Amino acid sequence: MKTVNYFLVISLTVLLSPIFTACSDEYPEDIIIFTNTTIWDGASVSMQENSALVTHQGRVLEVLDMNDPDFPEHGDIVDLNNHYIVPGLINAHGHVGMARGLEAGPEVHSEENVREQLALYARYGVTTVVSLGDEPQEAFTVRDQADFSSNGLARLFMSGPVLNPDSPDEAFEQVENLMQHNPDWTKIRVDDGLGTREKMPPEVYSAVIDASHNHGVPLAAHIVYLEDAKGIIENGGDLLAHSVRDEPVDSELINLMLERDICITPTLTREVSVYIYENRPDFFDDPFFLAEADPDVIDQLQQPDVQERYTGEAADYFREALPLAKENMMRMHNSGIRVALGTDSGPPARFQGYFEHMEMEMMQEAGMTPAEVLQSATRYAAECMQIDDELGTLEEGKWADFVVTEDNPFDDIRNLRTIRGVYIGANPVPGI
């Protein structure tokens, strides 16, 4: 009997060994493979057709050709039916938890509201949000405790309250207080409200920048004017969080930004939101908007007293500034400055998720190619916000955060609206 058994063991080993060396040795057991897809990994120039994305424990292992001789023979298969994969979109300038519908303030602050907004972003393919200011304390709790991947929530990075000190001493104090919460960025506004209030002077904002940098935290600045954009960068600021809206950007600003590798989030939809509700906007008939919008909010925005709020000096100024904002974005882009997708969505009537798609469409209309817009919304947004060690592309070791679309977004950025699935850490976002 012993001899027979020994013979059997030998035979099985000889028979099975070529199969084992071809697959199981190379791949961990619990891989998930997204098959039959055309993939843009965010790092390559072109898309890879007839490909598969191999993931392990929520992270990317590799992109493989479907006919690769070493294609794994085990693992969970998700057949993507010849759809497209691009990295999850990153909004480099959003806001979470500060508003609910048209209401803002402490009465709407809750962890639940923050979570609902992160889920909403995720359903639109925005798998990461950098929230730049005015979040409630509850947002820090969600950032620190949520399991984003398992709950279909966009990943959250945030700055906490916008700092507004009156003196360099107060700047130091405010930054020290904020650091207890471990912010990912700090945020300031250098803005005179179109001549209606005092603007933060350079000696104060430079103190905020220095205090933030002492803690290794980068600073994003809200600006309107060219002069302030230059001042911020000369004093060490790390991101222009809006377009320059008073004058054409000049070579002095462009060179300052290139020297220090500073990015901009143009937030073109922010300008739109200031005047668009004066009348009923066309997008109130867009099924892609209506799929998620609250009918009560749509109704409120069509009441005459509410429409009235979207008229006046500020509405006129920013409506007229929008073409210049687009031109300035293109001047920077053509000079080699990285433009990162950023919308300023989250305050009342700046619709999270939908506005990111509107912004990308405006970037395309301004002259960027669909591929350039995609790069702004993924890899560049991650690099600009200093989160590219784990996000922004589908390269080995990064989170498997991605959007599945039916139509090719390289043909037209509007094709990103044909969302068929969104995955965060290789987990499907529910409700799509």
By the criterion CB under 5 A, which residues form the site for Zn ion?
344
| Residue 279 Cα to chain centre, angstroms | 29
Which of 52/188 has CB closer to Zn ion? 188
The one-character DSSP state at 338 is: P
Least Å from the CB of residue 364 to Zn ion: 22
| Strand ranges (E), 213-266 | 219-223, 239-240, 263-264
Which of 41/271 has CB closer to Zn ion? 271
- Measured between alpha carbons, how far is 258 from 254 in angstroms, rounded to an integer? 6
Closest to 52 in 3D by CA, of 68, 66, 31: 66
Least Å from the CB of residue 185 to Zn ion: 11
Residue nearest Zn ion, CB atom distance: 344
| Strand ranges (E), 251-350 | 263-264
Least Å from the CB of residue 346 to Zn ion: 8
Closest to 133 in 3D by CA, of 167, 98, 107, 165: 98
Least Å from the CB of residue 261 to Zn ion: 22
Q: Environment class of residue 409 by beta-carbon count within 10 Å: exposed (0-12), middle (13-18) or buried (19+)?
A: buried
Residue 94 dihedral angles phi and psi, to the nearest 5°: -125, -170
Q: Which two tokens stand for residue 18?
A: 């070529």
Least Å from the CB of residue 47 to Zn ion: 33
Distance between the two ends of the chain, CA-based, in angstroms? Answer: 60
The CB density around residue 77, as the number of other CB atoms within 10 Å, is 14
- Measured between alpha carbons, how far is 352 from 400 in angstroms, rounded to an integer? 22
Which of 131/375 has CB closer to Zn ion? 131
Which of 344/359 has CB closer to Zn ion? 344
- Measured between alpha carbons, how far is 67 from 398 in angstroms, rounded to an integer? 24
| Residue 331 Cα to chain centre, angstroms | 22
Which of 154/403 has CB closer to Zn ion? 154
Q: Are 97 and 154 in contact (CB under 8 A)?
A: no
Which of 51/186 has CB closer to Zn ion? 186
Which of 238/344 has CB closer to Zn ion? 344
Least Å from the CB of residue 350 to Zn ion: 9
Least Å from the CB of residue 158 to Zn ion: 12
Q: Are 184 and 155 in contact (CB under 8 A)?
A: no
Least Å from the CB of residue 131 to Zn ion: 9
Least Å from the CB of residue 93 to Zn ion: 6
In Å, how far are 85, 130, 136 from 347, measured between CA atoms? 30, 14, 13
Which of 193/336 has CB closer to Zn ion? 193
Which of 72/266 has CB closer to Zn ion? 266
